[in-house]
Chain A
C-alpha cells in the first residue's frame, strides 16, 4: 500500500468538505474493493475518508410503500433488518448470498453501487425495483445512475446518502455465484410493481454492466410464472466470457436465474 492519510468523518458535510480539501481523495464505504486494490498498489488515493462512523448514513426506514436504506448500512445489517425482511425479503436474500460473512460485516450498499462492479449484486436490485439513489446534492433514478462498468452518474465529491426502494408486489433474486470471487457469475432480480409493471435486471452477465432484460420482462408481463420464460431467447452477444463462464453459459443463466427468481418471488 502506498502512503495515504486516513480520516474518519463524523458527518456528511465533514466528509464532503474533507474530500474537497484533498487532491485525490477516496471515500471509504466498507472497503471491500478499495482496500484490496490499495494493498496491491493499484490505487493510490492521497486521502481516505471513512464514512463508516457517520450516524446519518446508518440504518433502514420503512415509510408507507418506500423502504429507505442509508448508504453506509452494512450488508449484514440489511440482511438482518426486520423492515427489510418484511417489505422486500428479496433484498434480505440478496445480502445473504453476497460475498462471505467477512464481506457482509464490512461492505455497504452505498459502497457497492458507487463502485458499480459489473458483477455486484445490489445494482440488479436497484434497477429491477426502480430505486432512487439519494446523494448530498440530488436524487438519481437507478436507470440513470448506472452508466456501464465501474461508472456511475456520481460527480466528483458527490456522496450517496441513501437508496429508496418502492415496495414491490413481488420480487425475487437468484444468483449463480462466481466460484472464486463469489460475486455474481450471473444474478437476476425480478420485480412486479404494485401497479403491475414488470422489471428484470441481470448482473454479472453483460460487458456493459448491470442491464434490464426486456425479453423476459415482456414474457413475465403477460404471465408471471417461470414457464413463461421457457421460450425466451437470450442472445450471447455482448455478454461476458471468461474462464468461469462462456457468453452462451451466461445467456442460459439469465434465463434459469430469472425463472428461479420468479419461483422465489411467488
Chain B
C-alpha cells in the first residue's frame, strides 16, 4: 500500500469545498431569466379536484403562469412509472393506479401537487399560490395498512381492488409447513417496522432550462443517478429524447435512497420551462421534504420460526404487509420483495423458508428505498426473532446464533441468494470480545443496585449489496441493468481524470476512487480528478445506491485502468526499446524490471498524444473505458452488540456501549468506511429510538416538521467501538463488499434487543420512546 493507495486513511479531497461553503448545489445555481416554481399541494389525504381558479393569481405581480394537472395530462407527459415488475402468486401482474405528475382529478395524499405557479421570484410565486382557489371534494381516506385491506375501506385506485398491489410469495410452502409439523419448538413474533422520513440535509431541488432553438433541455437536479433520471425522463415521460436532454446532478447533500427516484417536481419543471420559455427553478422546503420525499420501511409482519430439539432452525414462515403509500414509486415494488424476502435466511442455515408479502395502497406519501431498503426490515425481523427464541428456549442469544450460523461457503439459501463468503463466527467473536460479553451479568447486577435496568442486545446482520448482476435482476423483474461504467483519461501532461457513473453525494468517491489510481500507478491523489454527475460528460452510469459504488463502480474503473495501463506499457516498451512483458509501473514511472531504465508517466502520456513515436499501428491518445457487470451480489455481514441502561422512572434509554464488527471485504479508505458506519448506525438507532413518520386515521401527517419528527442528534448516540473482520469478496477483483448501509441495517435490532433485555419484556415496538418503554415496563 502506498501512502495514498488502497487502505490508506486519505483525508477527503472534497471536504475543502464542503466545509468552506464552496460546494455547488442545485439551489446555488442561477440562470439568466430564471423563474421560480411554487407547487400548490393538496391539504387533503383523499379528494376530488373539482375546480382550480387561478384568475386572481394570474393578475398578481410577477406571475408568469399557473399550470395545472389537467394541462400536464393534456400535453401527454407520461405518468410516473414503477421500474420493477412483480408478479402475484396467482400469476397476475402487480396492480398499479396511474400517477400523473400533478393530479388532474384526484389527490391521494397530503402534499400531492395539483398545480404550480411560475413567477419572477420564489416569494411572488408563493404569494400567488395563496390566491389560487382549489375546490376539493373530500373523500374518505385510509392511512393504516390493516384498515386499508378491510372490506369497505376507502379505495384508492380502481386498478387495485381492495387496495392490494400484489400478493407475492417466495420459498417452498410445503417444505416449510412440513418443518413446522415436526418442530420441537415454534417461536412467534409480530413486529412493525416503523415508517421513516429520510430527511437528507439538502432538500430536493431542480432547475430546468429549455433551449427552443436546439429543442434541448438541461436539468440540474438533486439526483443519486442522473443517467437513470435521463433514461426514465426520455423513455417514459416523453420529456425529450436522450440526446436532447442533459441531466446534471452537481453537489448533492445526502440522498439515503430518497434521491434515486424521479419525482413529479423535476418533470413539471422541465415541462414548464418549455411552456414558459424560460428556466424554471424549484427548491423544496423542509415541509415539502416531509410530505413528498419517498418515505422508508412501514411493514407489519407476523413471523414464526421452527426449531428442532437441538435448537437448530428447521423452518421460517413470514407474512408481511408493506405500506406503499398512495402511488408506486420508482423502485418501491422491489423493496419488500427481492430486497427483503431474499435476505430472510440471515446468517443462518435455514432449510425451509416461505414468505408472503402483500403490498398495500394507503393515503400516505409513497414509500420506496431508504438506506438499506428491505434489508433493514429483514434483518430486524430475523434478529428480533432470534432474541425472542433465545429467551423462549432459555439459551444464550449469542450461542443460539452460533448454533445456527452458516459456516460453509458458497451457501445457497432457500430464498434465491447464494452467499459467496463470510465468517460469521469471527465477527460475533470480535464483537463479544469488544463489549466484554462475559462480564455483562456482573455489570447488570451492579446497575441494578443503583436502580437502573441494564440490558445487552445482539444483532447479526447480513445484506446483499452491489445489486447485480444485470441478467439476474432482469430475470426477477428489474427494468434496468445494474452494471457500472467508467472511463480513464490520461491527459497529455500525465494528470488523470476518472469519469464514473457512480454519483457521490456524501460518500467520498472523489477521494476513494483516486486511491485506486494512486495504488496502481504510484501517483499522488492530487494528480487525479473524479468526474461524475453529468450526462454530457459521463457516457452512462447506473448511479449510487445499495452500497454499490465501490464493489461495482470502482471495479469498472479498475477494468478501464487495466486497459489504459496495457496500452501505456506498450508505449513505454517501445520508447525504452524493451519487451512489454518486462515493464512494471512504480511511483509514477514505467520501468524495465531489473534495470534502471524508466520513463515517467507524463512522458508516456505525451508520447501517446504527440504520436510521433508510437508502435506501428497504434492509435494516438491514452483513454480507455469499461463497463463492468458483476457476477453476483456482495454480502457484507457483521455483528453489532449494544449495552443500554433504562431509567425505570422515565423509560429513557441511554447507551453504555455500542460495538460493531463488520466484514466489508477490502477497505479502500478505512476513515471513510468508519464514517459510513457511524452514519448508518445513527440512522438505525434513530429508527429504534426516535424516528416515526405518523399519520392520523384520516391520512393527515402528524410529524411533518423537526418540532415533531425526532431526528437523532449527536448527544442521542454513543461513541461507537468499531472493528473489522475480513473475508474478501470473491465476486470482484478488489474483494470489496460495500459498507454504506450496514449500520442502518443491523443497528435497530441490537437496540431493541438490549432494551427488551433490560426491562424483561419482549414485546416492544419501534421507536422505543421513553413513554412507550415506561408504559411497557409498567404494563400488567
Contact = CB atoms under 8 A, between A and B. Distances in A.
A256 B649 contact: yes
B709 to A, nearest CB: 6
B392 to A, nearest CB: 29
A108 B690 CA distance: 28
Contacts of B234: none
A180 B709 contact: yes
B694 A41 contact: no
Contact of A180 (B126, B650, B652, B707): B707
B627 interface: no
Interface in A156-191: 176, 179-181, 185
B720 interface: no
B215 interface: no
Interface string B587-629: 0000000000000000000000000000000000000000000
Contact of B694 (A100, A243, A245, A252): A243
Nearest to A245: B771
B687 to A, nearest CB: 13
B774 A252 contact: yes
Given A243-B702, A243-B703, A256-B649, A180 B710 contact: yes
Q: Find the residue from A176, A179, A181, A252 having the highest chain B CB count within 10 A.
A: A179
A176 B770 CA distance: 9
B774 A249 contact: yes
Contacts of B287: 40
Kindly state the interface size class of chain A when it binds its partner.
20 to 34
B708 interface: yes
B706 interface: yes
B694 A180 contact: no
B443 interface: no
A41 B129 CA distance: 12
B650 A244 contact: no
Nearest to B287: A40
A246 interface: yes
Contacts of B88: none
B274 interface: no
A253 interface: yes
Interface string A251-266: 0110010011000000
A109 B370 CA distance: 41
B775 A176 contact: no
B110 interface: no
Q: Find the residue from B694, B707, B709, B771 having the highest chain A CB count within 10 A.
A: B771
B44 interface: no
Contact of A179 (B126, B649, B769, B774): B769
Contact of B775 (A2, A180, A246): A246
A244 B771 CA distance: 7
A185 B775 CA distance: 16
B775 A243 contact: no
B312 interface: no
Chain B facing A: main interface SS: loop
Contact of A244 (B649, B711, B769): B769
Contacts of B651: 249
A180 B710 CA distance: 4
Contacts of B702: 243
B692 interface: yes
Interface in B672-729: 690, 692, 694, 702-703, 706-711, 713, 716
Given A179-B690, A243-B702, A256-B649, A249 B771 contact: yes
Given A176-B770, A243-B694, A243-B702, A181 B707 contact: yes
Interface string B125-169: 011000000000000000000000000000000000000000000
A42 B499 CA distance: 47
A263 to B, nearest CB: 12
Contacts of A1: 123
Nearest to B690: A179
B763 to A, nearest CB: 18
A185 B707 CA distance: 12
Given A41-B126, A246-B775, A180 B649 contact: no
Contacts of A180: 690, 703, 706-711
A245 B713 CA distance: 20
Interface in A102-137: none
A40 B287 CA distance: 9
Nearest to B702: A243
Interface in B422-479: none
Contacts of B650: 176, 252-253, 256
A11 B123 CA distance: 33
B775 A249 contact: yes
Interface in B400-414: none
Interface in B752-780: 769-771, 774-775
Interface string B630-670: 00000000000000000001111000000000000000000
Given A41-B126, A176-B650, A246 B706 contact: no
A256 B652 CA distance: 12
A243 B692 contact: yes
Nearest to A259: B649
A259 B123 CA distance: 50
A33 to B, nearest CB: 10
Q: Find the residue from B287, B650, B694, B707 having the highest chain A CB count within 10 A.
A: B650
Nearest to B694: A243
A210 B283 CA distance: 39
A261 to B, nearest CB: 13
Nearest to A39: B285
Interface string A11-46: 000000000000000000000000000001100000
Contacts of B708: 180-181, 243
Interface in A36-62: 40-41
A101 B502 CA distance: 37
Nearest to A181: B707
Those 9 A-B pairs whose CB atoms lie nearest each other, nearest first? A180-B710, A179-B710, A256-B649, A249-B771, A181-B707, A245-B771, A180-B708, A179-B690, A176-B650
18 contacts: A1-B123, A2-B127, A100-B713, A176-B650, A176-B652, A176-B770, A179-B710, A180-B690, A180-B709, A180-B711, A243-B692, A243-B702, A243-B703, A243-B708, A244-B769, A248-B775, A249-B774, A259-B649
Given A1-B123, A176-B652, 9 more contacts: A40-B287, A176-B770, A179-B710, A179-B716, A180-B707, A180-B709, A245-B770, A246-B771, A246-B775
